[in-house]
Chain A
Amino acid sequence: MRTLGLELRLFLVERAMWVILALFAGTLAYGIANGASVGLAARASADAAEKETFEWNRQVREALERQALDPRQVAGRPTIALLPPAPLPALAVGQSDLLPAQEAISLWRLEKPSEGRAELENPSRLLAGRFDLAFVLVWLLPLFLLAAAYDLCAGDRESGTLRMVLAQGVTPWRWISLRALARGTPVLILAVGAVLAAGTMTEERGVGTRILLAALVVVVYGLFWLAVAALVNGFARSAAAAATAAGSIWVLFVLVLPTLLNVVVESLHPSPSRAELVAESRAAAAEAEKRGNELVSSFYKDHPELAPAGMQADMTSRMLAVQDEVGRAMDPVRERFAESILQQQRLVDLWRFASPAIAAHEALTDLAGTGYWRHRAFQEQVTAFKGVVHDYYSPKFHKRQPLTKADVSSFPRFEYVEEDTSRWKTRVTTGLIGIAALAALAAILAAFRLSPRKLAA
């Protein structure tokens, strides 16, 4: 404990360290502010969509109070399925700037390609990514940690003072690890403080576990980089060599491995072709269109209870029958499409431990609620909701039933159901354990390398 306190004091008298801490605090603050503004914008557009939906429902209700309505007057209007703002938006922008949080659903377009309403965005900005808290924590935190702790004993070795220090009787690993902790602690305290601050910027309740886990991810990720610093110092003969090695490892883990994984994933499970999906679904539609009348009569044969008097199909029931047929033809294609994207994500989940940066980023976006899985859950629920809309209107059209006041209560409404807590907790905890294991591995290697015998050699 005394060594730790001493090292901490030594660290804090260096002016350069105060510069590092100030810079880090500045980038953290900017990252939080940026992420929070994205969260506010998401809130605003969600509010607007909710207001629009509410207004439309009110109009329909009032109209139905007066008289019964032809369902055609209501069904054509798109309902907006809304993914509510993320629980911790200030923590990570994640995929929320790319994937739509709203989708317009109308009866006549159920089988058309989905109409996600993503905000207008400059594609270069999507390419660059946001300067959010997750960026600061995953990309920059290691750089600040390494800047503070790259020279744990390499400089001493260079100048010859290492012998003197070791002559004091302190074991090298103990001394180096305490030194690394002393130098890393102030940086990590700032980082954890930032996570807590970002945690307060939400209207969501019960996000305590998310915040706590995010803080843990950051600490464990930080410890990994401190262990790397210690390991590097076991080898480097000069401070410059230590800095070079630490920098190269950072480049490897944060820049090269993630992009390599990206390439591997793309090559093993190529993204399916949207272009072909679009063209194929049009071909299916054309095919169904040609057989429209035949489809309708066979439908009434199967569903006599829905057949109108005289079995005479009108335009709308024909359109519905055609649409159903397109759905039958396209469902397997769409399932294959969704499946191959899921395969990609599974591969990422498996290989995220190749680099703690990937694991940490996945965990932070997952905790923020802006990652892959929450958007996927939304997409699945949207697909299910399309079925609800279809099942609600379809019998009414076939039987030519008007909408009445009694239908108001059973009107299809989209309500996003958050993913089961245990699922994201399992994913995040697995990631956390993985990062911890990598940190432990680096620390063990460093301890081995810094054993007195090795050091003497």
Chain B
Amino acid sequence: MKTLFYLLLTLFTFEIALAQVTVKGTVTDKKGAAIIGANIYIKGTYDGASTDVNGNFHFKTDSHGEHILVVTFIGYKPIHQPVDLKAELSEFKFILEESINELKAVVISAGSFGASDEARQEVLKPMDIVTTAGATADIAGALNTLPGTQAVGEQGRLFVRGGSGHETKTFIDGMQVLNAYNSTIPNTPGRGRFSPMMFKGASFSTGGYSAEYGQALSSALILNTKDAPNHDRIDIGLMSVGMSAGGTKVNDKNSVSGKIQYINLTPYFTLIEQKIPMDKAPEALEANFAFRQQVNKDGMLKVYGNINQSSLVSQLAEIDEPNTYHRFSLENKYRYLNASYKDILNKNWSLHSGISYTLNNDIIGMDTAQVNEKEKGFHLKTVLGYDHSNQLGIKFGMEVFKRNYQQQFNSLSNQQTGSLNFDETILAGFSEVEFYASNNFITKAGLRFEHNSLNNDQLFAPRISMAYKTGENSQISMAVGQFHQTAENQWVKINPELGVEKANHYLINYQWQNEGRILRGEIYYKDYADLVKFDQNQSQQPEVYTNQGSGYARGFDLFWRDNKTFKQVDYWVSYSYLDTKRDYLNFPHLAVPTFASKHNFSIVYKHFIEKIKTQVGMSYNFASGRPYHDPNSTGFNSGKTRSYHDLSMNFSYLLRSNVIIHGSITNIPGIKNVFGYEYSNTPDESGQYNRRAITPMAPRFIFLGVFITLSKNKTLNELPNL
């Protein structure tokens, strides 16, 4: 007991023996401005204070001797300073340095439109894709309302800045997708194969993208699938064009989702007359599934698969004799599998690895002839990321692309058969350094290496981009780089030794953004080299096909979006100016390609009417006339179509919390749009070539659907999945 007494006594005397120490001083930033609310304290104790409006602080402590004084403030680098706490302490003067902070740091906006629920600097949200009138929930349809794209109504693909549809590549979770669009009748648009609401975010790049993305000459559409869902649910959809059913099961560490969709356009085509007569309207059966597994704290495995089977039979008329028809049949088989794994290995290293497999098989019948076209593709990729600090990060990646293409031709009438095929293996590697000089200035420099087995081409593609914050809400960014892509299958199959097509991108972008309002402007220049070229007779001799084509594209884009000014209203306006010419394929000289229109304008308007729980959307698209080749006149591609207009509307009505009715209609005024003209191969008696206009299958497309969600949580609905 005595011992305890002594002990307490010791503690007590120790307390009074040493007087408190006063710690005081100021905290400022580099420019000398006071920092208000900084935290100053002695590590391991509760003793400390916050700075006042003048950046001053002072506090008393019972601690003595060697300690660490800590100074912190959000957005600044902390200071840890050793101090010797004794009675007479001189005043401290702390100067805090800004830290690189992802919430504050500038983001490169040149060439890229981001779409995500989360990030601040995003232009579009995944939901916007679904609710854009005229897009009919098609990713490409919605992105076509952004600047940099050209309306090419007979294709339904993304044509970016004077590039053809094949020059835009789609990636899912970093992995390549081949044949991202449904197969259709020639000169009718194919829808994208992937539902926009599978994705938590998308980045649509119209140029100058990262060294990570290869085999894309003009544009990269980078889609990231959603993470693990958090509720069990069943979704049922009844549509004017078919039906769907899906389910999600969530377990502790993993989740499984599946969906089956059956589309049959027979009833629709019976009601609404189509330009091309159909023996069998398009019919498709699609199944897709997604599996998510949380492997460890940060490690996530994602598997996604898509199986699609579709067919149609139609009658195509001859140009010279519109009453003579030829049977055209199309059967398409599509398989896509994507597995990717992402993990944070330790404080500095992260890993992203994946594999994708695509199989696309089109069996096309024309009268008694048949073409069987099959493409298989593998993509393997591993990326290691090293974060040295918030300021500096490096990425290294290795990739293998393997592709096999086969085309078989059989003609029953004259017993002809033939086949064309090729195999391609691309080995690629890339590295990219990201450096923040400050929160206001970022530089990204990358280098990509590729070796192509077809032609033994080896190439190095440097790419660099920078962004500088010019004010709190404004920034300037630029990007320069070299881009490559293997030529289109239809040429490579004839001459597998064709070299890689090349393009250089140069762009400068200005962006102003303030809470719900964005203004963007971008100027660009692209020069194309090594494009495929052949003589006008289109012979099947391989040596006729060379890489002597070239071209250029230049122009500017403007974009304005505002969801702030008017309550419950969101709208955006885009304008693109394009000046492009190419001397490629069978062009006799530099000429504007048929898919290029000089002016593109679109306006998208969305209004949520709370009273009737309905979102109403409208969009208007305009494209100036496109060239077409008229063999009856002199000159190449000298004809010009009239301009294109489309006014579309849609609505989504929440009938009950788990029931949604969705409807949309395109081209309300019924404008007769002409995309171009097809000409007969032979002249008639008077020496004239007959022609036929390329127009949509029907003036309008009308869609109606009811979507029901069943779950324990009654508030869930299909709105985000439409």
Query: Do A and B interact?
Result: no
Interface on B for A, CB 8 Å cutoff?
none
